[in-house]
Structure 1
Amino acid sequence: MNVKNQPSKPKLRTWASVISGSLAATGAVFFTNMPETIKTRMQLDGEASIRNGVGTKKQYSNIFDAYKKIIRQEGFKALQAGLGPAIGIQVIMNGLRLGLFEPIQHTIRNLTNCREQSTLNKVFSGAMSGVIGVTISSPLYLAKNRLQAQSNYFHAAEEHHYKNTIDCLKKIYQRSGIFGLFYGVTAALPRVIVGSATQLTTYDKLKEFSIQSLNLRDGLPAHLFASFISSLFTVTMMNPFDVISTRIYQSSGRQTVYNGVIDCCKKTVRTEGWRALQNGWLALYLRLGPHTIITFVFLEKIRAWFLTFDRFSTNPQPIPIDVLVNSDAS
C-alpha cells in the first residue's frame, strides 16, 4: 500500500494535549515532590552566610540521613513541603512545554524550509518551550523552594517564615514588587536550557541504540532504558545549575547576596569547593528518573482516554509521546 494513501493516525488537539500533559505531570509530582524536598535542602546545606563568608556545618551527611532526620523530627508530611506550588509548576510548565514543543518545531521547519525532523530542531524547540514555561512559572518555583527549606530543624543560611504559598507570594510582592516574584528566573533559564537540550539529545540517541543494537522492543522497554540512562547525563549536566538556581531563589539579600549566576557559582566554589555544585545529585536523579517514567505512564492513559472522544482529536500524524514527555527537564 502506498504510504501516502494510508489513513493518518489520530492526534490530540493542542488544548487537549496541554491538559493531558498537565494532568500526567500533576499525578507524577505527588510521588516525586518528596525527593525534590530532599534535593532542595541538601543543595542549601552548608551554604555560606555573608556574616563570615564560610560554609556552615552540614546538617545531613547523605540523602538517607536527610530522609531519616526529616521523618523523625518533622514527620512524613514534611517531605511534601511545597506541594501546592509544585503542582502549579507542573500544570503551567508541562502544559506550556507539551503545548508549544511541536508548534515551535513547525515554525522553525517553515522558516528554514526544512521538512525533516532534525535533532538540532528538537533540542532548540525543547529549550525554547522550557524557557517560556520556566519564566511564567518562576514565582511558583520561588515559593516552592522557600517552603521546602522552611523548618524549625533545618537551618539554611537564609531562612524564611511563611504560612503558605499565598502568604509567601504576598510578602515577596509587598517587599520587592512584581519583579521580586521573578527573582531567580535568570538562574533557572540556564538550568532548563541545559537540562532540556541534554535530555532530548541523549534520549533520542539512546532509544535508537536500544532498538537497533540491543534489540529492545520499540515500546516501554526501550523507553525505560533510554529514560534512566538519559537521566544520568541530564542530572550530571543540570545539577550545578540547579544548585545555583536553588540558592538564588532562597536568597533575599539578608544573609546571602548573589549578583547573578556567575557570582553565586564563584562564592559557592570558593567557600565549599567544586563538589558543592553536585550537592543533591542523587536526590535530583531519584526525582527526575521516576518523574519522567510516571509522567509517561500517566500520559499514555490520559491521551488514550481523550482519543476515545472524536471532539478531542484531529487526523494529522501525532507527536510521539516519548518525545513529548522527555522534553521535560524541570
Structure 2
Amino acid sequence: MVAVKPKDLAPTATVKFFGAGTAACVADLITFPLDTAKVRLQIQGESKSLEGGKVVKYRGVFGTISTMVKTEGARSLYNGLVAGLQRQMSFASIRIGLYDSMKQFYTRGSENAGIGIRLLAGCSTGAMAVAFAQPTDVVKVRFQAQVRLPDMDSVKRYNGTMDAYRTIAREEGIRGLWKGCMPNITRNAIVNCAELVTYDIIKELILKHDLMTDNLPCHFTAAFGAGFFTTVVASPVDVVKTRFMNSTTAQYSSASNCAYIMLTKEGPKAFYKGFMPSFLRLGSWNIVMFVSYEQIKRAAMRAQQSWESPI
C-alpha cells in the first residue's frame, strides 16, 4: 500500500479494495473480544444497574472478558460479529483500499504526497466509508452493548443481525441506522488519518534509512506504532460515538450533549474509558490487518505476474 518502489509492480485498485476488506475481516475475527470489552467499558457509568437491580462493574480488559464469560457465556464476546464483518468488508475496503487512489487524485497522479495530502486523503476515505457503512456500525455496537444473563428472564434486544436492521428502521426510522453518523465521521476521519498516515510515514522512514527491509518485521513495527498513536488521539471521540450510538431514547440530544454530560457527571477521565482494550484491540488489529493486507497484495501480484508470464 505504501512506499512502493518504482521497480515494483503496483497492485491494482481492485486488489487494494478487496484485499483491505479481507484483511480487515481477518483482523476482526481475531480481535473482536477486545472490541466488545472496549464497548462494555466505554458505556459503563451511564447506567448503574441492569435487570434485577444488579450493579454492573467491569475492571480492566481481561477482567471484563472474564466477567462476560462467567455471566453471559463465551459467545457474548462475539456479539455483533456478523455486523462487524459486514462493516469491515464495506468500511475497510473504502477507507484503506482507496487511500492510495485518493492520494493520487489530490496530487493529480503524482507519487509524491506530502503530509497534508496524506491527511486529506485519510479524512476523505474515512468520511466516505462512514457515510456508506454506518448502519453496520450501529448494529454492531448495539449487539456488543447488549447484556443477556443466562440465569435471568431477560429479553433479547434483537433476534439477529437482519432483525436488528429492520427493528431499528421500524422503531427509530431510517435515521436510526445512521445514528451517531457525525461523531462517527469525526472519529473515523481521525482514526483513518492517524492509522494510515502514521503507518505510511513509519514504514517509509524505516525503508528510507535501511533499518529493515520491506518485510514482516517492518510491517509489524509500523502497524504497532500506528495502533498506539491512533488510540491516543481517537479515544475521546470513540467513547462519545459508542455511547451515543448505543442510546435508544432521548438520553442524549446530540453527540455534543453526550460529551457534555460525560464531562460534567463523570469527569475528563470518562473520555478515556476502555483505553487499554482500545489500545490492545487497535494495536493488535492494525498488526493483523496491515500484515495480512501486505501479504494479500503480494500474493495477488505474484499471481498476476505468473498469469502474465509467457509459458
So what's the TM-score if we normalise by structure 1? 0.81
- Secondary structure class of the residue paired with 1:191: helix
Q: Which residue of 1 aligns with 2:57?
A: 59
How many angstroms apart in 2 are the aligned matches of 1:290 and 1:299?
Answer: 14
How many angstroms apart in 2 are the aligned matches of 1:67 and 1:108?
Answer: 44
State how 1:133-144 maps to structure 2 within 5 Å.
133-144=129-140
Mean CA deviation greater in 270-279 or 193-202 = 193-202
2:272 partner amino acid: Q
So what's the TM-score if we normalise by structure 2? 0.85
- Secondary structure class of the residue paired with 2:97: helix
2:265 partner amino acid: T
Is contact 2:19-2:97 (8 Å) kept?
no
How many angstroms apart in 1 are the aligned matches of 2:36 and 2:237?
Answer: 17
Q: Which residue of 2 aligns with 1:317?
A: none
Q: Which residue of 2 aligns with 1:277?
A: 271
| Structure 1 residue 27, shift from structure 2 partner | 1.3
Is contact 1:96-1:129 (8 Å) kept?
yes
| Structure 1 residue 94, shift from structure 2 partner | 1.2
Is contact 1:18-1:95 (8 Å) kept?
yes
Q: Which residue of 1 aligns with 2:73?
A: 75
Q: Which residue of 2 aligns with 1:327?
A: none
User: CA distance change for structure 1 residues 172 and 21 in 2, over 3 Å: closer, same or farther?
Assistant: same
How many angstroms apart in 2 are the aligned matches of 1:223 and 1:14?
Answer: 20
- Secondary structure class of the residue paired with 1:99: coil
Is contact 2:122-2:197 (8 Å) kept?
no
Which structure is higher in RCO with an 8 Å CA cutoff and minimum separation 6? 1
- Report Cα offsets for 1:52-105 as digits up to 9, x if no partner: xxxx96511222221111111222211111100000011001111233212221
How many angstroms apart in 1 are the aligned matches of 2:125 and 2:177?
Answer: 21
Q: Which residue of 1 aligns with 2:41?
A: 42
Is contact 1:86-1:140 (8 Å) kept?
yes
Q: Which residue of 1 aligns with 2:99?
A: 101
How many angstroms apart in 1 are the aligned matches of 2:14 and 2:135?
Answer: 24
Q: Which residue of 1 aligns with 2:283?
A: 289
Is contact 2:36-2:144 (8 Å) kept?
yes
- Report Cα offsets for 1:252-296 as digits up to 9, x if no partner: 225xx2222221111011111110100111111111111111112
User: CA distance change for structure 1 residues 289 and 239 in 2, over 3 Å: closer, same or farther?
Assistant: same
How many angstroms apart in 1 are the aligned matches of 2:304 and 2:68?
Answer: 48
